[in-house]
Amino acid sequence: MDNKPDRREFIEKAIFLAGSTFCASCAPAFFSACEYIQEKPIPTMTERTREHIVDLNSFPELNEIGGAISKSFGKPFAGRPIIIIRKEKGTEDDFSIFSSICPHQGGEIILNEELGKNHWCLEHYSEYDFISGENLVPPDSEPDFKDPLVKLKYEHYPEENKLKFYY
């Protein structure tokens, strides 16, 4: 007697049962993980708490109004440069600090060291205000894109001539 169809049927049922059991046991964990992802939004820049301290004695250009640097500080933004601009002296908001990662598609923002000129992204030629980081000229590939540069929160300690920024 040929029992091949029975064996095939048995194997198909076994596979179906194994798959059903697996799904039944994994589904709750899978869906609760999805809920977790949905409930944990990516923190905005103002919510970020990692910090880095800059000794301004190492950057004499930042002691003068209009002075600016674009420099990697290691860990922050995986080593991509941070742009720091000295815009005032003796106020509560003496600096502008930006990520040099273009908010459009991640190109590198080039620091324009002359006060009053704009930052440039050479990827699609967008321009950002030197002090405020506002988007002045959108990327040539997306004229409706108006996001500003990502501005970093900071604290200034004039007595120690240090700057702490958050990333």
Query: Residues interacting with ligand FES, by CB under 6 A?
Result: 102, 104-107, 121, 123-124, 126, 139
Taking the complex as a whole, the smallest distance from the CB of residue 77 to ligand FES amounts, in Å, to 15
Residue 118 vs 126, nearer CB to ligand FES = 126
Coil, helix or strand at residue 46? helix
**62: nearest Cα among 111, 102, 100:** 111
Instruction: Output 41 or 143, the one with its CB closest to ligand FES.
Output: 143
> Smallest gap, in angstroms, from Cβ of residue 102 to ligand FES?
3
Decide if 97 contacts 107 (C-beta within 8 A): no
Q: How far apart are CA 121 and CA 126, in angstroms?
A: 5
Nearer to ligand FES, 84 or 102 (CB): 102
Write down the least CB distance from residue 137 to ligand FES, Å.
9
